[in-house]
Amino acid sequence: MRDIFQLSRRRFLQNSAIAAAFASGVSRVEAQQDIINDNFIDTLLAKMTLEEKAGQLHMEGVLTPRMVQPNFQKINPFTPNFTPAQAQKLLDEQQHRIRQGAIGFMTSPEDVDSVILAQKTAVEETRLKIPLLFGADIIHGHKTVFPVPIAEAASFEPDLARRTARAAAKEVTADQGIDMTYAPMVDIARDQRWGRVVEGSGEDVLLGSLFAEARVRGFQNDDPAAPDSLLACVKHFAAYGAAESGLDYAGNGLSERVLHEVYLPPFDAAFRAGAIVTMAAFNTNDGVPSTGDPHLLTEILRQRMGFNGAVLSDFQSEKELVNHGYAKDDRDAARMALTAGCDIGMVSGIYPQYLPDLVRSGELDVRYLDQAVRRVLYIKKQAGLFDDPFRRINKTTSTLAPMLKQHRQLARESAQKSVVMLKNEQSLLPLSKAGQRIALIGPFGEDTDNLDGAWSPFVPAIPSVSLVDGIKNVLSNTSDLTIVKGSEITTAIDGGIHAAVVAAQHSDVVILAIGEAATMSGESSSRTNIVIPEAQQALAEAVAATGTPVIVILRNGRALALKGAVRDANAILVGWYLGTATGPALTDILFGDVAPSGRLPMSFPLESGQQPYYYARELSGRPPAADSKQHFTSHFLDIPNQPLYPFGHGLSYSEIEYSTTHCNKNTITKGESLLVSCYLQNRGGRTVFETAQLYLHDNAASVVQPVRKMIDFTRVKLLPGEKKKIQFTVDSSALSFLDRNLTTRLEAGAFTVWIAPSATAGEPAQFELK
């Protein structure tokens, strides 16, 4: 699959952030058939009543037959609590709705029994025998829990994301009968206060687009009808990650040009990879809620981007048009969402409740209803459900069990590659497995509740392994290890700091395991102050005061503004939420069995107040001077205008030296390519993997361009002492951009390029486009 992603990167660059597709205003999704002319779908549609049509557009939470049992233990925390009698009544009512053809999709099953019961009713007891399609949040694993998506993006290895998505799809289709996952989330996120940063791939357009493509290919395996494939529902369309102040569900003030050039390319990449379902976002764009926006869901998504699939609302977002003050009532909201281009309503029920009567009254043209039903039937057909509605239902573990061992190893590899080493003063790392007294201090040392992060599976196959268990498994003598919690995540422990100080004083090195609870990131988990919680910061200050060297391991779902003793620790590892293999993977890094290779997929700011902070900022007319406090320049009064750690930063166990960037030509013309190269040399004694990044700046353009933007990267293996030339090909089309009229422009002029280890490093080279 490596060649696929090399081609994908080139194709992305040649399309210049999909500018050509947007400028043309025509459909260009080559792989998708014309669903309007599908005879099977047209024949089925002609047989349907208005109620059956509206039912196909309704998604409902599926109830399990187990809930009628007196000792029912729910797995899904979203399943309500009911008495057996209440449960039986609800189950009977849902079965009746299925028989009436009033449900087309079902979501979040407790178990495979619920899927079997509902599907049998749909295909055996309804008039038209149309199968249901089942969806669930399979975000970063199922029985095996892989690192959260933002962590995996730190690998800068899209094919790794493809492999973990493929593993998750194979597990859930063998175990639970799911047809579609509400993933990947491809929202570009440049404000770390936003909690859902954890679900995406960070701040960069290229990185986000490549990971979007990879995850779709992993879930669908280029054949969404296969029994072990999942339909990918790409979310959230669009610009959900640009929420003002990082506040979840908030709107944004984006220009149309920024929307197209920054926030839509990952969706384009996902659609090119074969995704045929997308989820409308909660937020407003230019004052219009996404779910009810015909400009967004019809003009941009379908007419410009050529998307022929189905649009699913986010949880009740079609009903929330009323809360926005955009629709006057639920009936109005149903009409507005459907005519805007939202085909499927998630859970609210307003489509089956109002659409038939809206058509009969003449308030809604039936063609809107028919085209939405065509799209729904199309994705069910593409998922193979008309051929075999039970293709992903397997009640035995015969196919699941053999794959779990292999997937645990993949989880360990993914976790290893996700860890980012921010600093390593005096080569404190790696540690020795013998003869070193180690104090493991902090609330995340023995913690098992915050290993997996947001949107974790309900019941993994095995519990994820804690940091302490990983360390104990490799130490020659576990008596060399002292464990002190020191504090809770957000509150102090009586005597906790004293115990931690004593442990640090009697140790050669401290591993300080601190960070965020899993609930501090994810949906509706925005933070105004993205720092280590106060109780843990106090613990860090006290431990640092002992003078014992400190290694900080962060548990986090976003970039953090590190302060005081945490910032000044001797070594810092970004440990994220790594899932099943947390302990083993971190231990592999700590003790040198594996050299760290992760890179930051988002910038770590100096202060929370810098948010939104990202590297690809537009140049100011008064850029900050070398003296960061020079008056009348773009600067803060109290801190330098720079990150603590920039996008792309990450160290390993050898120092890598970059030569000056070199271009093979001083001048190119439109249609020509440029070769950009430099030498990397491993100055250390360890074999390491280095991620070299290629950045570009257009020195003068008719629209102000970013200070830098990453246009390529490569992961290079370097043996001890090895010097290696790396080379990138830059096509002239990669120099184009969108103007204010959304027209692709390729302008003559001077350009600067850097091959660098991060977004703020590197020795530049210049060339000119004639």
Q: What is the pLDDT of residues 446-488, one digit of tens each?
A: 999 999 999 987 778 889 999 999 999 999 999 999 999 999 9
Which class is domain 654-769? Answer: mainly beta
Which class is domain 407-610? Answer: alpha beta
pLDDT, average across residues 196-209: 99
Residue 314 bears catalytic tag:
yes
Torsion, Cα 342 344 350 356, to 10 degrees, reads 90
Residues 6+ apart with CB under 8 A from 249: 243, 282, 283, 524
Q: Average the pLDDT over each of 26-30, 49-53, 95-99, 242-246 and give the range with the smallest value.
A: 26-30
Instruction: Give which of 593, 553, 591, 596 is closest to 575, Cα–Cα.
Output: 553
Alpha-carbon distance of 432 to 428, in angstroms, equals 10
Task: Calculate Rg over the CA atoms of the chain.
Answer: 27
Q: What is the pLDDT of residues 396-405, one digit of tens each?
A: 556 788 899 9
Q: What is the pLDDT of residues 690-719, one digit of tens each?
A: 999 999 999 999 999 999 999 999 999 999
More confident residue, 758 or 17: 758
Q: What is the pLDDT of residues 340-357, one digit of tens each?
A: 999 999 999 999 999 999
| Mean pLDDT score across all residues of the chain | 94
Which tokens sit at 200? Answer: 């995406």
Residue 248 pLDDT > 90, yes or no? yes
Q: What is the pLDDT of residue 10?
A: 53
pLDDT, average across residues 330-336: 99
Residue 722 pLDDT > 60, yes or no? yes
Q: What is the pLDDT of residues 490-546, one digit of tens each?
A: 999 999 999 999 999 999 999 999 999 999 999 999 999 999 999 999 999 999 999
Alpha-carbon distance of 320 to 316, in angstroms, equals 6
Q: What is the pLDDT of residues 550-577, one digit of tens each?
A: 999 999 999 999 999 999 999 999 999 9
Q: What is the pLDDT of residues 642-677, one digit of tens each?
A: 999 999 999 999 999 999 999 999 999 999 999 999
Share of the chain above pLDDT 70, in %: 94
Domain parsing of the chain, residue ranges? 407-610, 654-769
Check: pTM over 0.85? Answer yes or no. Answer: yes
Among the listed residues 137, 204, 314, 343, the single catalytic one is 314
Indicate if the alpha-carbon torsion angle 530, 254, 615, 270 is positive or negative.
positive
**Cross-sheet strand order for the sheet of 481-484:** 420-424, 571-574, 550-555, 509-515, 438-441, 481-484
- Predicted confidence band at 35 (pLDDT cuts at 50, 70, 90)? low
Q: What is the pLDDT of residues 169-183, one digit of tens each?
A: 999 999 889 999 999
Residue 7 pLDDT > 90, yes or no? no
pLDDT, average across residues 14-23: 46
